[in-house]
Amino acid sequence: MLTNLNSKMPRLLGELDDLSHAKVSSGEFKYGKGTEIFGEAEPADYVYQVIEGAVRSHKLLPDGRRQIGAFHLPGDIFGLENGDFHRFTAEAVVDTTVRLVKRQSLERVAKTDPAILRSLRTLTSASLEHVENHVLLLGRNTARERVAAFLLEMKGRLTAAGVIVLPMNRRDIADYLGLTFETVSREFSAFHRKGYLRFLDPTQRQIVVLNAAGLTGIAQQTSAKPE
């Protein structure tokens, strides 16, 4: 399954919360819809956590083709690099509030606090796992399978009261799945026709999954996700 960072254990949220009152310089910041948070190849001086909204991380080819590597949703930490530079550009998908902490101070604290250190490693590991699964998805899954996997990922990550409310548009989804937005739209429609989905609003961004088993059967992924 596309990794569900959200349900992973130590999401560092607690720790980052602690840090925000403690010995790490930390702050909140708002980014308007579509604005850049950091750019590819810029120095990675900060680590970010989504408070509210959504963020996309992408790379571009010289001719403008775009590949989104991940969506970051409330609670998610992003921009944590192993090296010294960002390797994706991060942008706000909608108006978004983030907490940010200086990477240096985080690393300073991590030196003395093994719990923080472990959290950081777990985070890196989770994002590595996500991108590795994404390689499999992009390399070997059909359009239908990709869209099913996407819906299941989002079901796990941002369902509230049984409803998935997507912050991103069809083009963002397409660029995440290596498809065109028309194909994404068609697959959404196909699942709707099959009775797997219900749409609650006219822009079709609010989705109820009626047949998760059906989607799971189509998604064809290697690592099954419990619940």
Chain residues binding DNA by CB under 7 A are 142-144, 169-171, 178-186, 188-189, 199, 202-205
In one-letter notation, the amino acid at residue 76 is D
59: contact with a second copy by CB under 8 A: yes
The residues with which 206 forms a beta bridge, in sequence order, are 165
Q: Which is nearer to a second copy, 61 or 160 (CB)?
A: 61
State how far Cα 111 lies from the chain centre: 28
Q: Which is nearer to DNA, 76 or 187 (CB)?
A: 187
Per-state percent for the chain, helix, strand, coil, to nearest 5: 40, 25, 35
Query: 205 contacts which partner out of a second copy, DNA, none, CB within 5 to 8 A by kind?
Result: DNA
Look-up of token digits 């609003």: 201
| Contact code string over 142-181 relative to a second copy, x by CB under 8 A | ---------------------------------x-xx---
- Count of residues interacting with a second copy (CB under 8 A): 38
Q: Which is nearer to a second copy, 16 or 177 (CB)?
A: 177
Looking at the chain, the number of H-run helices and the number of E-run strands are: 7, 12
Measured distance between the N- and C-terminal CA atoms of the chain, rounded to whole angstroms? 11
In one-letter notation, the amino acid at residue 89 is T
Query: Within 85-104, which residues bind a second copy (CB under 8 A)?
Result: 87-88
Q: Which is nearer to DNA, 122 or 185 (CB)?
A: 185
What single string gives the DSSP state of each residue in 144-184? HHHHHHHHHHHHHHHEETTEEE--S-HHHHHHHHTS-HHHH
135: contact with a second copy by CB under 8 A: yes
7: contact with a second copy by CB under 8 A: no
Q: Which is nearer to DNA, 80 or 93 (CB)?
A: 93
Q: Extract the runs of DSSP E, i.e. beta strands, from 75-190.
A: 77-78, 89-92, 96-102, 159-160, 163-165
